Structure 1
Amino acid sequence: MTATVATVKGGEDGTDSPYALSHLDALESEAVHIFREVAGEFERPVILFSGGKDSIVMLHLALKAFAPAAIPFSLLHVDTGHNFPEVIEYRDRTVEKHNLRLHVASVQDYIDRGVLRERPDGTRNPLQTVPLTEKIQSEKFDAVFGGGRRDEEKARAKERVFSLRDEFSQWDPRRQRPELWNLYNGRHAPGEHVRVFPLSNWTELDVWQYIAREGIELPEIYFAHERDVFKRGGMWLTAGEWGGPKDGETVEKRLVRYRTVGDMSCTGAVDSDAVSLEQVITEIAASRLTERGATRADDKLSEAAMEDRKREGYF
């Protein structure tokens, strides 16, 4: 996204004085506009909040959009039961700090009731779709904010900012609507809803630079720390009750951090000594892989893994 630059004659010496939004200001302005547009168009919006960096930035933007009033949305988290404890602690602390309402859709509940079955590989990320879509339907949410960005993965690059879902929460790329001049079409039939992506035009580097500029607190696992991990599929995974390590997989203590946060069973850590925001930004700027491409095993199940799940109702 390119910021619009307005140049005027302002100096006594006749030089041009540029007045332009920085790229972060432009991205922030766009996201704030999207939040306010949804508040005006929809009756029951909700913010998908996992305690990961993108959802944290999204919540920060929502708080800015409606300050000093409270945000007119509740939060929704699909709890896999295999989440990082540091992230769940951050989630609960944030909800309490801002006096927010949190809806939780539990994958474990669906497993206990026999609606879902554990996968052989132990990962529960693909099992999130049914709890998510049923919670949306039961609560009658008509707009659901997600932190997806177009630079993350090729299926997410196809998304519009307003992405229509049918009465079964399924995504059809052929029903994508044009979005010209930042005009968003929220029209939907009864039973349908719209997924909204305020961070669509952000990159991972933008997110980290914005976190640094705004002084946003993050869970500690985003910074380098010592952790017991084992290697599987080329990634460093955290040992846990979800099914790792297996025979032949050796646990070792390494200095690592996480670029993205999901289910422990499919989210890999990266070797890193970046303990500050400045060091993380430098590391990200030099990386040639997106965070999902480098550290998410669930995206590697097939060439079209993410798109298949999106068609079923996943984000």
Structure 2
Amino acid sequence: MSALTSSSPAAPAALSALDALESEGIHVIREVAAEFERPVLLFSGGKDSVVVLHLARKAFWPVPVPFPVMHVDTGHNFPEVLEYRDAAVERYGVRLVVASVQDSIDAGRVRERPDGTRNPLQTTTLLDAITEHRFDAVFGGARRDEEKARAKERVLSLRDEFGQWDPRRQRPELWNLYNGRHAPGEHVRAFPLSNWTELDIWQYLAREGVELPSIYFAHEREVFERDGMLIADTPVSRPRADEQVTRRTVRYRTVGDMSCTGAVSSDADTYAAVIAEVAASRLTERGATRADDRLSEAAMEDRKREGYF
């Protein structure tokens, strides 16, 4: 009888690119949950953190996600995103920890910036919350394609007792083996989406039918142009004398502090339309719409060394 008969076991089907990324992300989440005592998942309601939470739910189904989610709240968040955040944690039955930048300001831990932007102030608030709750592993939604400082990052990133990142202390990650060893007081940042792209994120969200905050899709908003970006006219982001407010059809590629997150002109109001738009883009979402990353050539690198992201 031939070795290849109808009774022979079928060859395993090859994973699609999205299936492979999903499998890798779930593997990272399970490894961290097994190796660390007090993990936490950073959850802002942004698309990347939504995917990480979705992967975590899949990783532990049918039981609930066994660790809390944490939002570092600048106090300048888009209302639509906060509403989504609260609805999501209630829907999925996860515990939400809110670390408030405003509380850090009131306590004298940080000072308001002259430009009103609070994103750079998140570092102290995040590190204080990690210390207070004794978190030893922090899941983030960073991707290597977003920005050159993030491209240097490992899947598991060791942070010292001050929360700082030192590239010389990062470990090699061969054959999907991750080293989570750390001394008391140190912690690890874990990035399950390291190898994803913005297009992967959108294709996966569409495939899985995951809901997102409405501002990711085309809508009308009062905006003004500054440094090539469309900034929303809000109580924390007001136009200057030479900046004219107009009503435009826009959407957001990323969400953050209202004072430094720009929108893009867009009519993309469905997943299919957004995917087509992202596929044609030649600029990452952070490069296109985040003013805090334009503060200097090494803005993200500096913030990462201090303990952000």
One of 219, 234, 245 as aligned partner of 2:213: 219
Q: Say whether residues 1:187 and 2:187 are aligned partners.
A: no
Q: Deviations over 1:160-190 (max 9, x none)?
A: 0000000000000111100000000000000
Give the deviation of 1:108 after TM superposition: 0.9
Contact 1:235–1:269 (CA under 8 A) maintained in structure 2 = yes
Distance of 2:134 and 2:190 partners within structure 1: 16
Give the deviation of 1:159 after TM superposition: 0.3
* Map of 1:68 onto structure 2: 62
Q: Secondary structure at the match of 1:76?
A: strand
* Map of 1:202 onto structure 2: 196
Cα RMSD between the aligned structures? Answer: 1.4
Give the deviation of 1:114 after TM superposition: 2.6
One of 24, 37, 45 as aligned partner of 1:43: 37
Call closer, same or farther: CA 1:163–1:284 in 2, change over 3 Å: same
Q: Deviations over 1:64-117 (max 9, x none)?
A: 000001111101100000000000000000111112111111111122233222
Query: What is the aligned residue count?
Result: 304
Contact 2:145–2:284 (CA under 8 A) maintained in structure 1 = yes
Amino acid at match of 1:165: R
Q: Secondary structure at the match of 2:148?
A: coil
Report the more deviating stretch, 280-289 or 115-124.
115-124
Distance of 2:5 and 2:236 partners within structure 1: 65
Give the deviation of 1:11 after TM superposition: 8.8
One of 156, 165, 171 as aligned partner of 1:171: 165
* Map of 1:106 onto structure 2: 100
Amino acid at match of 2:196: W
One of 56, 79, 83 as aligned partner of 2:77: 83
* Map of 2:110 onto structure 1: 116
Distance of 1:222 and 1:238 partners within structure 2: 14
Amino acid at match of 1:43: E
Q: Secondary structure at the match of 2:13?
A: strand
Give the deviation of 1:243 after TM superposition: 4.0
Q: Secondary structure at the match of 1:20?
A: coil
List alignment gaps of at least 5 residues for structure 1: 1-8
Give the deviation of 1:268 after TM superposition: 0.4
Give the deviation of 1:228 after TM superposition: 0.4
Q: Say whether residues 1:29 and 2:23 are aligned partners.
A: yes
Distance of 1:17 and 1:271 partners within structure 2: 47
Distance of 2:52 and 2:5 partners within structure 1: 38
Q: TM-score, structure 1 length as denominator?
A: 0.94
* Map of 1:271 onto structure 2: 265
Amino acid at match of 2:206: A
Distance of 1:51 and 1:23 partners within structure 2: 25
List alignment gaps of at least 5 residues for structure 2: none
Give the deviation of 1:17 after TM superposition: 7.1
* Map of 2:242 onto structure 1: 248
Distance of 1:113 and 1:143 partners within structure 2: 26
Q: Secondary structure at the match of 1:33?
A: helix
Q: How does 1:128-147 map to 2 (within 5 A)?
A: 128-147=122-141
Q: How does 1:277-296 map to 2 (within 5 A)?
A: 277-296=271-290
**Percent sequence identity over aligned pairs:** 73
Distance of 1:25 and 1:309 partners within structure 2: 33
Distance of 1:117 and 1:211 partners within structure 2: 37
Distance of 1:154 and 1:243 partners within structure 2: 27
Report the more deviating stretch, 165-174 or 115-124.
115-124
Q: TM-score, structure 2 length as denominator?
A: 0.96
* Map of 1:96 onto structure 2: 90
* Map of 2:48 onto structure 1: 54
